[in-house]
Amino acid sequence: MSLQQHLLSPEGREALTRLVQQQPLLAFDFDGTLAPIVMHPETARTPPEMVPLLTTLAQRLPLVILTGRQVDDVRQRLGFTPTHIVGNHGAEDLLEGPDAAAVEALAPFRARVDARRTALSTAGVFIEDKGASIAIHYRLSPDPVQARAVIEELLTELPPQVLIEPGKQVVNVLVDSAPDKGDAMHRLMARYGCRSGFYAGDDTNDEPVFERAERDWVTVRVGPRLDHSHARYYLQEQAEMAQVLQQMVDALGR
């Protein structure tokens, strides 16, 4: 694992320009990458200044969204029309719907949630059932210690095939056999006939893409540099993404 470089450094800009001129697949996470993290997830939107840039890119190159949200949820928040969307951390395709096996495998966990609704609600924990995955949110809890205790009890004795993936004030409940974002990225590369790729994301569930990226891809972790990440580049903050998009648009005009 090599030391990450800042994507807006001279070296990073050169790599980005070179990649865009190869007609790559452009792929982005949504929350924390295209849109800033917000206290209330239902208010998340792509910043208005980025929408024209994304629209231009989507008209010139295959541009896809890989998100933990459901497809229908994220689509209304984008402000532009991407080429393709994959939701549920890779387990829900725009064309094929959610992974049926994942939905079924989570049924026993749903029963555990239902039996603890009162305790979860009292602790300020919000359960988001997305079909092929379940998100346990505690960002708005007035007592994070109590919230974590209730969540830990919920997560004891997980059903077979079910695993947890901590995120930013959220715990994602996934199925280990379901497609992840890395699977989705490679599937979309093949679907759209692209030989190189770009991917940007900000959280743990983006690491499968970073880890399985080919050598000529540009992979970007959004947030302060983490040298244990498999991403090759980083951005200090989500607000820098607008500069990245502008660099891509400029490169297409050359």
> Of the candidates 175, 200, 221, which is a domain's last residue?
175
91 and 22 both lie in a single domain = yes
Average pLDDT score over residue span 30-52: 96
> Which CATH number fits the domain that encloses residue 194?
3.40.50.1000
Give 102-141 pLDDT, tens digit per residue: 999 999 999 999 999 999 999 999 999 999 999 999 999 9
Average pLDDT score over residue span 144-152: 94
Which pair of structure tokens corresponds to residue 130? 């997305």
Average pLDDT score over residue span 137-165: 93
Is residue 209 situated within a structural domain? yes
9 and 94 both lie in a single domain = yes
> Of the candidates 152, 175, 198, which is a domain's last residue?
175
163 and 199 both lie in a single domain = no
127 and 245 both lie in a single domain = no
Is residue 59 situated within a structural domain? yes
Give 189-199 pLDDT, tens digit per residue: 999 999 999 99
| pTM of the entire predicted model | 0.93
Give 4-30 pLDDT, tens digit per residue: 999 999 999 999 999 999 999 999 999
Is residue 157 situated within a structural domain? yes
What's the CA gap between 239 and 50, in Å, rounded?
Answer: 10
> Which CATH number fits the domain that encloses residue 124?
3.30.70.1020
Is residue 33 situated within a structural domain? yes
63 and 135 both lie in a single domain = no
* 3, pLDDT greater than 80: no
What's the CA gap between 195 and 213, in Å, rounded?
Answer: 11
> Of the candidates 175, 205, 236, which is a domain's last residue?
175
What's the CA gap between 169 and 148, in Å, rounded?
Answer: 10
* Stretch among 19-23, 86-90, 173-177, 222-226 having the lowest mean pLDDT: 222-226
Whole-number pLDDT of residue 170: 92
Q: Are 149 and 143 in contact (CB under 8 A)?
A: no
Whole-number pLDDT of residue 85: 99
82 and 193 both lie in a single domain = yes
If pLDDT is split at 50, 70 and 90, which confidence band does 2 have? low
Q: How many domains does the chain have?
A: 2
Whole-number pLDDT of residue 227: 78
* 1, pLDDT greater than 60: no
Domain that holds residue 147: 100-175
189 and 238 both lie in a single domain = yes
Relative to beta strand 25-28, strand 197-201 is parallel
Whole-number pLDDT of residue 51: 99
